[in-house]
Chains A and B, each alone.
Chain A
Amino acid sequence: MTESDPRRAWMGLLARAKGVQLDRLWPDAPPPFDWLRRPDQGSMMVQGRAGAVGAAFNLGEVTVTRASVRLACGSVGHALVQGLDARKAERAALLDALLQTQAHDDLAARVLKPLRMAEAEAREARAKRAAATKVDFFTMARGDA
């Protein structure tokens, strides 16, 4: 565990969230900030491994948007989010900056916790749907033993 672990987790959570989720959970006007990097759309090359475990190969790209901000207090926030939603990247970078300030606990409760729960619920629902399609084999009785 390192100091960056909670930040890694929230940056990932914000990156994977939908833009509408961030807007709904955090409708607040942002505090004054400067752009270090305005939302910038691009791609990341996704790699796989031959045979799942061997040599890496390039599978294809995924769209991303990145942004960086600095709040008046000096806190710097970064975002690398999935998809091409510039507003989502902006909101994620601002939240990343704010979560490193005294606003952390409030925002963790209002934004991160519901996002984490929504993601966990979606995963669990999918895993339960999958479990419902698990095959129960039974052996056919053969002969007259």
Chain B
Amino acid sequence: MYVAVKGGARAIANAHAWLDAARRGDRDVPELGTDQIREQLALAVDRVMAEGSLYDPDLAALALKQARGDTIEAVFLIRAYRTTLPRFGVTLPVQTDKMDLSRRISATYKDAPGGQVLGPTFDYTHRLLDFGLAAGREVPPARQADTALDPAPHILSHLGGEGLMQAEPEGAGAVPDLTRDPLEFPAERALRLQALARGDEGFLLSLAYSTQRGYGRNHAFVGELRIGTVRVSAQLPELGFDIEFAEIVLTECESVNQFQGSKTEPAQFTRGYGLVFGQSERKAISMALVDRALRAEEMGEDVSGAPAQDAEFVLSHCDNIQSSGFLEHIKLPHYVDFQAELELVRKMRRAAGADAVPDAAE
């Protein structure tokens, strides 16, 4: 148990002044602007928006600067700021089939209608350090084709048309919101998806990998991975119509998994789903695999006790702010607790006849 303590005000003030100075670093090096972070460390900004669960690149860039590049600390700053913003309403569900694509690939269909579009990917790079970047080499503009890419339908909609893909049920009733109501189990899929969308990328990556290695057998293909820009619409209550008030970048992954069928359903493919703010395909693929693993019971699959199939385990531990909050609180003063334990250990040793050990603390 943490017991409140007083004192140390001067030490704290000096520690924070040092933090400010340390953040600035060597003053012979120009200070980093938040616009530079937003533009040139865009994927770090995206991760902070995704796990902070608040889409605002400028705020995320500021949070990264303030956190000295510590992603989880930046996410913490964004989450804290988010709680100060009144919620005006809810948007219409984003239409990812109308996405302006920058990337769209399928691992299941070579000749997917709309094509395989690589976008600005790290794939096929050699992962050799580019010392030219350190030397400030000129970067030519990206090449453009003569004709623009059209929006493309979801690849899995073609399987759905044949009845080979399990239909996605419409939601019934209010959409659950874990920012308003505490997480409760069993958690319906909409709640699970919300938790996963803001969950820690590293945690979800590990869980997704565990399913691939056999902890919850769940062989997934990436049916489609798409990254691009979507318009966000909301109803204006004053006016009775909706406007496209925002434009955001999203990454979406639909995994395809086999389903043996049941008494009521023929054999077909099923889907895992990942949707993440910003450009973050590692997170989106991980989310899709974990989403599918969490559907094991619903699919009547062998639930072997694998961590990724356990909603309570996954959802209670995927939030890095909740996790680090509890983890890091143990570094705060626990003097009274520890004194009690110390007394207890001494008493037990005395009882066991170990009194000969000198009691250095006294």
Contacts and interface: CB of A to CB of B under 8 A. Distances in A.
A123 interface: yes
A137 to B, nearest CB: 6
A54 B145 contact: no
Contacts of B82: 43, 61
B144 A129 contact: yes
Most buried by A among B111, B121, B239, B245: B245
Interface string A66-90: 1010000000001011111000000
Nearest to A2: B241
Contacts, number: 243
A128 B144 contact: yes
B205 interface: no
Interface string A55-71: 11111111110101000
A4 B242 CA distance: 10
A133 B119 contact: yes
Contacts of B91: 44-47, 62
Given A47-B175, A127-B149, A135-B118, A42 B142 contact: no
B93 A49 contact: yes
A83 B234 contact: no
Contacts of A132: 142-145
Given A80-B234, A84-B56, A130 B103 contact: yes
B115 to A, nearest CB: 5
Contact of A78 (B179, B236, B254): B236
A7 B241 CA distance: 10
A77 to B, nearest CB: 11
Interface in B121-162: 121, 142-150, 154, 156-157
Given A44-B88, A51-B168, 8 more contacts: A12-B245, A47-B90, A55-B172, A56-B175, A58-B175, A59-B94, A63-B55, A132-B145
16 contacts: A2-B241, A8-B241, A8-B242, A15-B245, A45-B177, A46-B55, A46-B232, A48-B275, A54-B167, A55-B189, A57-B175, A64-B245, A84-B58, A124-B148, A130-B117, A132-B144
